[in-house]
Amino acid sequence: MAGVNRARTCETTLDPFVRRPDINPDDECDEFPFAGTVEGGTEGALCADVIPVLQNGTWVITQARADKPLTGHEPCVRANMSAEANGSAGGKLGSFWKNNRILDTEKFALAFTP
């Protein structure tokens, strides 16, 4: 499921993800909702394209593409992330699922805190 969902969001879309090697030499697409979830796999053309930057301990989100302004109403996000950060986050997500015994199609809550 994850590979198909990731491709639908990041690769084989009507609006392919735009890599930004000027930001990260090893830039990758990091998607939300997560590709490994039932909610993942939203058509990438519908997603907000963002660049998250850590500034003074706070993540600041900026628009990644001038031709695709952020509205705040997009059903998904594609973020320009380094391969290292993307892999680290994916590993932590996998550990969360395993350590909490989250099964396929089982519901869980996700909360964002400042």
| Owner of token pair 């109403």 | 73
pTM equals 0.84
Assigned domain for 110 exists = no
pLDDT of residue 112: 75
Q: How many structural domains does the chain have?
A: 1
- Residue (of 31, 35, 47, 33) closest to 110 by Cα position: 33
Assigned domain for 105 exists = no
Assigned domain for 27 exists = yes
pLDDT of residue 114: 63
Confidence category of residue 94, pLDDT binned at 50, 70, 90: confident
Residue 3 to residue 94: CA distance in whole angstroms:
14
- As a whole number, mean pLDDT of residues 79-87 equals 90
pLDDT of residue 96: 85
